[in-house]
């Protein structure tokens, strides 16, 4: 079998795949194949292992006359024309498992950094713009506070587990309530979105980007929040009206925000960069050496099991 990997990832996670099949990576020193390069050679390959931002179009699928499976290196698959692949009988797989716990860690890390002013203090210590003292740099404790999780899937639940261990009460809103057995693991309570936004001390967004979730945090919903509350977003940028949030933070209408994703994609707006009550990270929710290797191993396993039998994580 011939496998084309579009990105020059570390090889650690690919060792089994490389031992079994004929695997092509971009040449050393080259980060990624371009779309045009893949288009030209895809007819020779049985398998495409695409990165999350590599466009797998109908055109490309048509050129891939030998393609049997596209194994995407991502939990999402917005980069792939899944319907067209389904029509052509090409299997699409993804790698949701490795991203769950690291993303929950990122949400927890941002929450602690916002509530305890970690990044803010670190920055001001370095610019010598900080006063020490008993009543300076005060943040909020987590213990006894209410965390409202919007989107209680795998990542939301992994965050709930961490929050419970830190003594927080967990409420959540989801398309439907969870099984009471799962709720009881986290002492989590299903509430309406309105109750969640009004009663939470921290709101964490863990829902996908859909027309229903678009700008769920906006000027009106921010007005319902407690003045001491914070928002954490490790999900997708468009869930928040970023300009409305920046205005509320600037006017100290809420306490803070921790954002790993942005409306502008790989671009943080200048109005956010100017604020000291927001913690900003460059979509590093799954950016660890461990996850990179685990996702490569997971994407490889989807390919190996497709041919040899065993569980695969298919999306079509």
Query: Smaller CB distance to a copy of itself: residue 46 or 260?
Result: 260
Binding positions for a copy of itself, 33-72, rule CB under 8 A: 51
Of 2-10, 15-23, 171-179, 300-308, which part binds a copy of itself (CB under 8 A)?
Answer: 2-10
CA 43 to chain centre: 33
For residue 234, give both structure tokens.
Answer: 């490790």
Contact assessment for residue 96 and residue 75, using Cβ atoms and an 8 Å cutoff: yes
Task: Give the nearest distance from C-beta 165 to a copy of itself in angstroms.
Answer: 4
By CB under 8 A, is residue 261 in contact with a copy of itself? no
Give 49: exposed, middle or buried? Use CB within 10 Å, 0-12, 13-18, 19+.
Answer: buried
Give the residue, chosen from 22, 83, 122, 220, that forms a contact with a copy of itself under the rule CB under 8 A. 122
How far apart CA 26 and CA 164 sit, in angstroms, is 45
Q: Interface residues for a copy of itself in 272-301 (CB under 8 A)?
A: 273, 279-284, 287-292
CB 197 within 8 A of CB 221: yes
DSSP lists the bridge partners of residue 217 as 240
Whole-number minimum distance, CB 220 to a copy of itself, in Å? Answer: 28
Q: Does 109 interact with a copy of itself (rule: CB under 8 A)?
A: yes
**Site mask for a copy of itself (CB under 8 A), range 162-181, x = bound:** x-xxxx--------------
CA 37 – CA 39 distance, rounded (Å): 5
- Cβ neighbours for 262, distance < 8 A, ≥ 6 positions apart: 237, 242, 268, 269, 272, 283
Q: How far is the CB of 186 from a copy of itself (least distance, A)?
A: 10
Footprint of a copy of itself on 198-257 (CB under 8 A): none
State the nearest-atom distance from the C-beta of 58 to a copy of itself, in Å: 25
Q: Which of 264, 261, 139, 256 is nearest to 203 (CA)?
A: 256
Q: Judged by CB under 8 A, does residue 140 bind a copy of itself? A: yes
* Residues 266, 264: Cα–Cα separation, whole Å: 6
Min separation Cβ 192 and a copy of itself, Å: 27
CA 308 to chain centre: 31
Query: Which segment (13-21, 42-50, 129-137, 210-218) binds a copy of itself by CB under 8 A?
Result: 129-137
Provide the minimum distance between the beta carbon of 127 and a copy of itself in the complex, in angstroms, as a whole number.
Answer: 10
Strand order in the sheet with 47-51: 22-24, 2-5, 47-51, 69-73, 91-93
Query: Residues interacting with a copy of itself, by CB under 8 A?
Result: 7, 9-10, 51, 101-102, 104-106, 108-110, 112-113, 115-119, 121-123, 125-126, 130, 132, 134-144, 161-162, 164-167, 266, 268, 273, 279-284, 287-292
């Amino acid at each position: 079998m011939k496998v084309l990997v579009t990105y020059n990832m570390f090889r650690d996670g690919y060792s089994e795949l490389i031992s079994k099949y004929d695997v092509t990576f971009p040449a050393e020193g080259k980060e990624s194949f371009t779309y045009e390069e893949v288009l030209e050679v895809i007819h020779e390959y049985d398998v495409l292992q695409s990165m999350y931002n590599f466009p797998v179009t109908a055109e490309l699928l048509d050129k891939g006359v030998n393609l049997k499976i596209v194994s995407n290196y991502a939990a999402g698959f917005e980069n792939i024309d899944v319907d067209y692949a389904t029509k052509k009988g090409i299997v699409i797989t993804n790698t949701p498992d490795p991203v769950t716990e690291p993303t929950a860690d990122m949400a927890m890390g941002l929450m602690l950094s916002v509530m305890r002013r970690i990044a803010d203090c670190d920055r001001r210590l370095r610019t010598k713009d900080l006063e020490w003292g008993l009543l300076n740099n005060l943040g909020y404790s987590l213990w006894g506070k209410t965390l409202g999780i919007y989107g209680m899937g795998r990542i939301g639940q992994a965050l709930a587990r961490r929050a419970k261990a830190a003594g927080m009460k967990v409420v959540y809103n989801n398309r439907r309530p969870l099984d009471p057995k799962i709720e009881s693991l986290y002492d989590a309570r299903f509430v309406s979105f309105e109750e969640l936004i009004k009663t939470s001390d921290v709101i964490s967004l863990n829902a996908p980007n859909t027309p229903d979730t678009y700008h769920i945090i906006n000027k009106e919903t921010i007005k319902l929040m407690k003045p001491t509350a914070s928002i954490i977003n490790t999900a997708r940028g468009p869930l928040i009206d970023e300009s409305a949030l920046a205005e509320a933070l600037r006017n100290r209408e809420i306490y803070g925000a921790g954002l790993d994703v942005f409306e502008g994609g790989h671009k943080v707006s200048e109005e956010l960069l100017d604020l000291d009550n927001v913690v900003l990270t460059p979509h590093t929710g799954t950016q660890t050496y461990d996850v990179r290797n685990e996702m490569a191993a997971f994407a490889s396993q989807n390919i190996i099991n497709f041919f040899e039998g065993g569980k695969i994580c298919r999306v079509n």
